[in-house]
Amino acid sequence: MIELDALTKRYGGTVAVDGLTFTVKPGRVTGFLGPNGAGKSTTMRMIVGLDRPTSGAATVNGRPYAALRSPLRHVGAMLDASQLHKGRSGYAHLHALAETHRIPRSRITEVLDLVGMSTAARRRAGGYSLGMSQRLGIAAALLGDPEVVILDEPVNGLDPDGVLWIRTLLRDLADEGRTVLVSSHLMSEMAVTAEHLLIIGRGRLLADTGVDELIDRVQVGSVLVRSPDSGLTDALTRRGASVETDATGALTVRGLTAAEIGDVARDERLALTELTPHRASLEEAYMDLTREAVEYA
């Protein structure tokens, strides 16, 4: 479990993280989302002790990261897959980490197999593609068989097969009862991978919620409507709806539910040939929630 209590980080007059308080629970994949500059990477760095909080606290299973006797066995993190010694092989990189915690060499072989890097393990890391570096970074995060896994943008550089693999891996780790925190800018991927979301903007917590709950709460859905009667647009507008018409004559209606649109058509004696609700996507809900928190518009 990861717990943040009023976690704050200032750089001079800039507040990068502003009083974050939340809990990342085990047994589910938690997505950590926010616009560029929202403070996600800084928060993750404070969790694993790479940055010192200005105030507040971050703990892993009740203890600060610096107080963990064998941190790789408790927390596995990949925050920047490019930070490798380019002259070392992938195997040598993992071996150096394993030696610091007396992790057996058999575990190095296991994680290399798990991430699909066995055949490239003896090659120098300087020749790895971005996707290969990502896989090696994930192998390093899993090396100590940790209870808590933190991954920053793990699907960067991965091909479609790799994206499917990381999606399955994250779910499997959560199903094993581990705490999984993963950041991403790919809303479509978070929609099918994460069960819970933490969304921040300008360093502040905007949402701590399930995926479905966020979509249901942020009212950005619409209804596709078709009618042979041209008077429907005016009738819906009078009821406060926003109506857009495309080249085929179909209406995209916002501000009224499908049932309410049906009531309007009945009251006005107007025919309907299609009435299809469109549930907001996670991307639409996320954009609606973070619209005022974008740093670089």
Residue 288: predicted pLDDT: 82
User: At residue 219, does pLDDT exceed 80?
Assistant: no
Average the pLDDT over 181-201 and give the result.
Answer: 93
The pLDDT of 268-283, averaged and rounded, is: 90
Cα–Cα distances in angstroms (integers) from residue 89 to residues 84, 194, 280, in the given order? 10, 33, 46
Domains and CATH numbers, the chain: 2-216 (3.40.50.300), 222-278 (3.30.70)
Average pLDDT over residues 62-70: 94
Q: What is the pLDDT of residues 19-58, one digit of tens each?
A: 999 999 999 999 999 998 899 999 999 999 999 999 999 9
Cα separation, 211 vs 192, whole angstroms: 9
Give the mean pLDDT of the chain: 92
Q: Is 92 exposed, middle or buried (0-12, 13-18, 19+ CB in 10 A)?
A: middle
Largest CA distance in the chain: 78
Per-residue model confidence as pLDDT tens digits over 150-186: 999 998 888 899 899 999 999 999 999 999 999 998 8
**Residue 296: pLDDT over 60:** no
Residue 220's pLDDT is 57
Is pLDDT larger for residue 287 or for residue 76?
76
Average pLDDT of the residues in 127-153: 94
> Given a cut of 80, is residue 262 above it in pLDDT?
yes
